Amino acid sequence: MAAASGVACMVVVVLALTAGITLIMFRTGSMSPSIPAGAVAVVQRVPASSIEIGDVVTVDRSGDLPVTHRVTSVEAGAEEGQRIITMRGDANADDDPFPYEVTSVRIVLFSVPGVATVIAGLGDPRVLGALTLAATVLVVWAFWPRTPREARA
């Protein structure tokens, strides 16, 4: 089980570095019911030129938290590769108040409901300390010198 977890962690790191894939945690229900609060989404950075109406994308905002909503319109921007998009959360009645000028966005590949609280909990110092202690005990137990089986008999 520990080996499988280690391999999964390595795969996630390689995907993050090579394919621009990361995780986004949802704190609000603005994308409910398709992505409820407490969900985690797997997102990938893509050029703005590949955005289509209906895509769920995350837009980075300077000095503010990113916003993840569904694209409602796409227009060409002033520069090549730039797009001006409007977005709306699935649970919202109106579009976001201002359009976003973007050259790249993070598109939502899929989401998993209810996982955000588990991931956030893993960042708690007490949990990290307990995991570190458990890993230390496991390593010490695995490499502790043992007596040969013949000597035990």
Q: What are the tens digits of pLDDT across the range 110-134?
A: 999 988 878 777 778 898 899 899 9
The ranges assigned to domains in the chain are 23-132
pLDDT digits (tens, 9 = 90+) for 54-112: 999 999 988 888 999 999 999 998 888 899 999 999 999 999 999 999 999 999 999 99
pLDDT digits (tens, 9 = 90+) for 12-61: 788 788 888 888 889 888 999 999 998 999 999 999 999 999 999 999 98
Q: Which residue in this structure is represented by tokens 């390593």?
A: 139
CATH code of the domain made up of 23-132: 2.10.109.10
Q: Classify burial at 39, counting beta carbons within 10 Å of its beta carbon; exposed 0-12, middle 13-18, buried 19 or more.
A: buried
pTM of the model: 0.73
Reported as half-sphere exposure (CB side, CA atoms, 13 A), residue 34 has a value of 17
Cα-based torsion angle of the residue sequence 130, 117, 69, 14 in order, rounded to the nearest 10 degrees: 30
In this structure, are residues 83 and 74 in contact, taking their beta carbons and an 8 Å threshold? yes
CA–CA distance, 92 with 95 (Å, rounded to integer)? 7
What are 48's two structure tokens? 């703005």
